Chains A and B, each alone.
Chain A
């Protein structure tokens, strides 16, 4: 056996022993250091006969590679052992709490407004707005509710001046007036917003939210009204079928007018929409009164259509099981946290309205 094979055997065996990093480094020096055994063999190359040199060099190189690989592997193994032994001491109680964060929430009324807008967006309604402070004309007179009419008693109004000219809008219907006055038919809008009545008890709050709907075109009839609301209620409550009842009623600005009830039942203390034989009134609607169309310069012999008004807070209460209307506006931190929605939970038709 040649010298270099002996060297190889000797050191490969050495590396198989239980060594620490220092011993491995010593071996490295013993072999490849300035006077290392392998280094010395390389020095011999020049003195070897030309015909043998090639063979010797090739053998020497392959032995060098083999030993080096063995050494690297040994070092790597040792390092892993060392890391593993260190890790034993780096064990942290991961059940300790994380760094602090605050979770914000969207108010249920805002969430429901977004849900409503998303639903009506699908069938081509766009969102319009109007001011919270209105004049008497837009809130009442233009809507076919003259001053001397008892229908005004249906709205307890907050006034901002003694002449009763300026007031807080009692419904979102004045947005109909503003929208039609500034544009030309057809109109297909919804108008969500704050509304005010001087009334306060368990089921009334001096401020609440409504969404107005208005669709005016050449041939829009009560069938379209029914279809639109049927679609909306189904989508909003995310049920396949609903029970809906149109009941004749009276609003000065629509004729014929209707109130709409939905069928429900109570199961385990929760309201189930779409089943059962109880009725719940959820909105008022009707065909826009020709007098209103005249007041906003739309020709009632050419155009007709429907309008509706829905209480947003009430919808939110029904859908999300909130019992007390007044709690919506009391800013109780616990309530906001409990009933609020995550800001990333944006209602949309493709992801679904609610999770």
Chain B
């Protein structure tokens, strides 16, 4: 909401300076977005005289002019206007100026080989009118002595731009803002001086609001102004319109816009001669069409509130008028409309048709239903003053009466909510300045909210009114209590934070990527899930919710590889989605590791990363999180984005049916499809939601502290087994032989080839044997040795290698 300080002062009698007014606006909830002097932008437009005008040497349609810009300065300007003649007085814009029409910033430039310093302006470029043919011709009588002076010298009032919250419809008009400032003690609200005109003729055009369900028009006021002469607006009005950043059109249109900004009262002017036998305000029928003032053709649905005549739709009430009945410069008779439309109806229609206008913006927030007459009076008076004509009586048709809101306000409620006290007297003053009608009854105020405040419906709204006018700085600080009744994080949240830092401690950089991704990449990772489309994505490559984090990680891996990085370790912890309803999501960690380990290290041999790097990081994290590795169960059932032969799933124990993690190398087809330039890519993912919450605390899960001081022995074994036999099974068989003696098993070699039959492999293990009761002698050791060999051979068909 833009307006000038001068305009504000037409409604507000104040001694406050501009800065103080601006601060106060923010203090009472009308946030000042900007507060600037318009002259800063328009200062550079100077009255100038063309001293000489010659044909451009390299262009038929251009001229090279020497221009007197005052202060004894003459500049050379290239100009395309045919009317750029010697001795013409016009407007010159110096390099650095911003052209109001297109916000283009001028600079010194060469045009077809001739350097041009600045520009000569047309009316359209300065938003003075639509006239774009030729440059402005100033009257020599008026401007002869003005060469070198600012053209826009009359606009010197500062422009304030407010960000008005959706509840404050009343402050979409200058008067509403003045009223609020007055209530906050900034000055006095001036009275509106509207003269009643006597002996008026009746308004002869018949107006009817149909009685029907969902009628969006609650009241329709009108008045006829006959015999007008629609002209360009006078300078004072143009200046106001320009100051708001709008374009003056004609007096009639400018006046309706002016009244809208001044009083927050949208008006609409019809060319009365174009109305076919009276006006009917009714619901539209599906398929009706009309051409609106934005030059678009709209096809309507059922139940949109339209202003119509016998020939059809004239306009959408409160949203936009139609071209058929629009006013033009030759318009003679005007029907001026000032109506009240239901905010919900306005919003619904404008959303469906996707129309946004200043009127719609105001009506959907709720304008003052009691401003119908005021708007007509002010609009008609201005039209008569500027365009002449004869005003008719005002005609107001009402569909229903709009109820006033009554609130019983307990005065003590204010302190209960805000924590501080304001005297009854002061409360009453504040509310009455805001326009409330008040009856005090002991500790209760019976309030009637002002008609321009549809947002006020209950006691809490009254508290807000008082506290914002009184000032939020009055609220006292209550220091918070330092007491904790409940633990800050629950178990799942603790797990989340633990894993997050556990991953980073393994050398992975944490990243955060969008929850959405590119469906084309996502489909490589979504297994059998369907893609979850976003109806209105921000761009076509962020069009689905991610089924996996890998799609984004891979996209960004590629970008980093392109930046020249090779050995990259990344992870993200966050949501992935399985459907489009709340709860169709789970929390996972996805990580990837590309390139080589120990690249270019003088000491270590470099090697490509592999699945056992990924496995180490997953297993170590799970152990750090407190899970027992001895119970882990691993198989090779993994999603199809993993390398089918080089990937595995980890279960916390054999009986779990959901894996807590997958690890492995990525499927080579994906690397190929996405053209990822890396030697290898190991990945893993951990499913935090598949980790069941533990009832016991970690300390209660640990076995009793018990260890043996007797000597331990180590024995090596090598078994020859089927190639497909899993090491995990062999280790389990051995560990179960005698848990009191076998304390550790290490796999130290896997061998296939010479001396080993085809389809067989040799697994070499080192077994640690230790008793709790004694030092084992040779005989004891021999016994357990034999038992290990015989058990393994019996259970697996293995042969001990000798």
Contacts and interface: CB of A to CB of B under 8 A. Distances in A.
Interface string B407-437: 0000000001111100000000000000000
A149 B343 CA distance: 9
A344 B504 CA distance: 9
A103 interface: yes
A129 B489 CA distance: 10
A123 B477 contact: no
Given A158-B537, A227-B479, A247-B27, A104 B460 contact: no
B504 A124 contact: no
Interface in B1-60: 26-29, 31
A223 B476 contact: yes
Nearest to B26: A247
Contacts of A334: 563
Nearest to A125: B488
B297 interface: no
Interface in A287-303: 287, 289-290
Nearest to B455: A250
Given A256-B468, A331-B513, A247 B31 contact: yes
A113 B581 CA distance: 26
A231 B463 CA distance: 25
Chain A: interface residue count, which band? 35 or more
A115 to B, nearest CB: 12
Contact of A160 (B468, B501, B532): B532
Interface residues of B, number: 100
B500 A249 contact: no
A249 B482 contact: no
Contacts of A110: 500, 510, 512
B737 to A, nearest CB: 38
Interface stretch (A26-34, A68-76, A194-202): A194-202
Interface in A67-109: 96-97, 99-107, 109
B477 A223 contact: yes
Contacts of A226: 475-478
Interface in A165-185: 166, 168
A99 to B, nearest CB: 6
A255 B414 CA distance: 12
Nearest to B565: A333
B601 A100 contact: yes
B796 interface: no
- The main secondary structure of chain A at its interface with chain B is mixed
Nearest to A251: B165
B674 to A, nearest CB: 15
B472 A159 contact: no
A264 interface: no
A158 B534 contact: yes
Contacts of A222: 417-419, 467, 475
Nearest to B487: A126
B464 A227 contact: no
Nearest to A153: B166
B30 to A, nearest CB: 8
B545 A287 contact: no
Contacts of B553: 331
Contact of A343 (B505, B535, B584): B505
B620 interface: no
B313 to A, nearest CB: 23
Contact of B420 (A188, A223, A224): A223
Contact of A248 (B29, B485, B501, B563): B29
Contacts of A276: none
A231 B478 CA distance: 10
B400 interface: no
Contacts of B483: 123-124
A6 B565 CA distance: 80
B597 interface: yes
Interface of B: 26-29, 31, 165-168, 343-344, 347-348, 364-365, 416-420, 458, 460-461, 463-464, 467-468, 472-473, 475-490, 493, 497, 500-516, 532-538, 542, 545, 552-553, 556, 559-560, 563, 565, 567-570, 574-575, 577, 580-585, 597-599, 601-604
23 contacts: A100-B599, A105-B504, A122-B484, A123-B480, A127-B490, A133-B585, A151-B167, A158-B537, A159-B535, A162-B535, A199-B538, A222-B419, A230-B477, A246-B475, A248-B464, A256-B467, A331-B553, A331-B559, A332-B560, A336-B511, A340-B504, A340-B509, A343-B502
Interface of A: 96-97, 99-107, 109-110, 114, 117, 120-127, 129, 131-135, 138, 148-151, 153-154, 158-162, 164, 166, 168, 188, 194, 196, 198-200, 206-207, 219, 221-224, 226-228, 230-231, 245-250, 255-259, 287, 289-290, 304, 328-334, 336-337, 340, 342-344, 346
